[in-house]
Homo-oligomer: A and B are copies of this chain.
């Protein structure tokens, strides 16, 4: 056994999260694509069977009340809350990330302009982010009469001014895995009186976010990456408690009404986080997510972060040791404060290389034009997985 393989075995033996792996249904593959679609938690299939056969099939319409369907968006929001450093009552689950970005950004502009005047006419958006945020931000800007300014996150502080209404940033860059400095960027946004909106898709469940601690105003995120909610599972919206009364949603569906079953012609928004709801929640996807969240029982997100950094450090170490020099170049920051839970390697013929890797049972993904992307989910990825992945990469790239 190589030195690194021995080190992996030892690290696995010492891993505080090791027992969590058995709560997922895994096969012999090394799955490093949990930052795209999390693996299947063992609790999901049985729970979903019960939701379908008993709650839908037998109780039918009664389940809206008796099975707690109606309150699922806020109940599951409260379950996500501790993972992103939020107290209860500030998150609702539902809709896609894109739809939530729209709600959050329009809501943010309305708060900023209502309070601080019509001169607030700019939205700053992370130009390096996952593109949907930029597309939706463009629509939000157009529909609120704002100008959209796409910028690299590093250029945001210098661009902030009394004209800034809202700033939309991604906590971790989906491509490079770079972690942005949420506390200092949020503080900078607040210093000019603007509203900070964060996209947590690539950080929630992988590292501490500290929404409440850092005074984030609004946040959105998906649940199918590190939260393992299943393909296209519903996203969530965080609205900080003291902003909820001022949150004026552009999608005021009947689920966000103060009295949804009053069927009243005039809209009156519900108090609290419920104001972020829109239409009837997609119960099957939502309750699969709820079951998936059970794996977080007793898990500290700090422990997750410690293992995540150890995994990415170890992967980079193994790559350096195994892969012929010059064949790959890491785009992921070396400094822990700037690293999410993935490693992006620039590589010639990356698309083909990833195909070969997958054929060898190491699943990452390819991002155009030349990136091999590996995500590390601390709940089920082992150090031995990491060593095997680097070894497979080296073998794939061997001359």
**With A143-B250, A279-B132 given, is the CB distance from A368 to B263 under 8 Å?**
yes
Please tell me if the beta carbons of A60 and B45 are within 8 angstroms of each other in the complex.
no
* Residue A156 at the chain B interface, CB threshold 8 Å: no
Distance in angstroms from A298 CB to nearest chain B CB is 23
* Residue A113 at the chain B interface, CB threshold 8 Å: no
Q: Which of A33, A55, A233, A285 has the most C-beta atoms of chain B within 10 angstroms of its own C-beta?
A: A285
Choose, from A6-14, A46-54, A78-86, the stretch at the interface: A46-54
Mask of A22-49 contacts with B, CB within 8 angstroms, 1/0 = 0001010001010011011000110011
Q: Which residues in A have some Cβ–Cβ distance to B below 8 Å?
A: 25, 27, 31, 33, 36-37, 39-40, 44-45, 48-49, 52-53, 55-58, 60-61, 63-64, 69, 95-99, 102, 127, 130-132, 134-136, 138-139, 143-144, 150, 175, 222, 224, 230-235, 249-255, 257, 261-265, 267, 278-286, 288, 363, 365, 367-368
Please tell me if the beta carbons of A363 and B280 are within 8 angstroms of each other in the complex.
no
Closest to A286 in B: B232
Please tell me if the beta carbons of B252 and A138 are within 8 angstroms of each other in the complex.
yes
Please tell me if the beta carbons of B231 and A263 are within 8 angstroms of each other in the complex.
no
- Kindly list 20 other residue pairs between chains A and B, CB separation below 8 angstroms, not including A61-B365, A143-B144: A33-B60, A36-B61, A37-B60, A63-B231, A97-B280, A98-B251, A102-B250, A131-B257, A131-B263, A131-B265, A138-B252, A138-B267, A175-B263, A224-B280, A230-B284, A231-B280, A231-B282, A235-B279, A263-B368, A284-B288
Please tell me if the beta carbons of A139 and B48 are within 8 angstroms of each other in the complex.
no
Distance in angstroms from A185 CB to nearest chain B CB is 20
Distance in angstroms from A358 CB to nearest chain B CB is 8
Instruction: Please tell me how many copies of the chain the complex holds.
Output: 2
Closest to A234 in B: B282
Q: In the complex, which residues of chain B have a beta carbon less than 8 angstroms from the beta carbon of A97?
A: 279-280
Q: Which of B61, B233, B283 contacts A230 (CB 8 A)?
A: B283
Please tell me if the beta carbons of B368 and A52 are within 8 angstroms of each other in the complex.
no
- When chains A and B are docked, how far (Å) is the Cα of A232 from the Cα of B136? 24
Distance in angstroms from A169 CB to nearest chain B CB is 15
Q: In the complex, which residues of chain B have a beta carbon less than 8 angstroms from the beta carbon of A44?
A: 52
Please tell me if the beta carbons of A232 and B61 are within 8 angstroms of each other in the complex.
no
Q: Which of B39, B138, B267, B368 contacts A60 (CB 8 A)?
A: B39
- When chains A and B are docked, how far (Å) is the Cα of A284 from the Cα of B235? 14
Q: In the complex, which residues of chain B have a beta carbon less than 8 angstroms from the beta carbon of A262?
A: 368
Q: In the complex, which residues of chain B have a beta carbon less than 8 angstroms from the beta carbon of A33?
A: 60-61
Closest to A100 in B: B279
- When chains A and B are docked, how far (Å) is the Cα of A181 from the Cα of B222? 42
Distance in angstroms from A80 CB to nearest chain B CB is 16
Q: Which of B27, B60, B102, B279 contacts A363 (CB 8 A)?
A: B60
- When chains A and B are docked, how far (Å) is the Cα of A396 from the Cα of B165? 60
Please tell me if the beta carbons of B25 and A37 are within 8 angstroms of each other in the complex.
no
Q: In the complex, which residues of chain B have a beta carbon less than 8 angstroms from the beta carbon of A234?
A: 282
